[in-house]
Amino acid sequence: MTELTLPADIKAMSFEDALGELERIVRQLEDGKAKLDDAIGFYERGTLLKRHCEGKLREAQEKVDRITLGGDGTVGTEPARID
């Protein structure tokens, strides 16, 4: 599968803004009133927004650490295992 390049306006979006737009697109597509060319455009933009949201979630996951307590009482961290 080829890597899709995200447009600058999507790259600049927060996770919440991108998810909100994606939800609006889904509602428009579910409504079924869009012309075919518009529906295809919505679908393509939705795909890019979905990819952006997934990337933002991956970035957040990588930042999350789990606090651990060693047998000797020392405190440390390790990467979270979030699936």
- Going by DSSP bridges, is the β-strand pair 65-69/75-79 parallel, antiparallel, or unpaired? antiparallel
Q: What is the pLDDT of residues 15-61, one digit of tens each?
A: 999 999 999 999 999 999 999 999 999 999 999 999 999 999 988 87
Alpha carbon distance 42, 36 (integer Å): 10
71 has a pLDDT exceeding 50 = yes
Q: Which whole-number Å values give the CA distances from 62 to 12, 14, 56, 57, in the listed order?
A: 20, 17, 10, 9
The average pLDDT across 63-81 equals 78
> Contacts from 20-27 at CB under 8 Å and sequence distance 24+?
21/45, 21/49, 22/46, 22/49, 22/50, 22/53, 25/49
With bands split at pLDDT 50, 70 and 90, how would you rate the model's confidence at 1?
very low
Domains of the chain: 8-79 (1.10.287)
With bands split at pLDDT 50, 70 and 90, how would you rate the model's confidence at 2?
very low
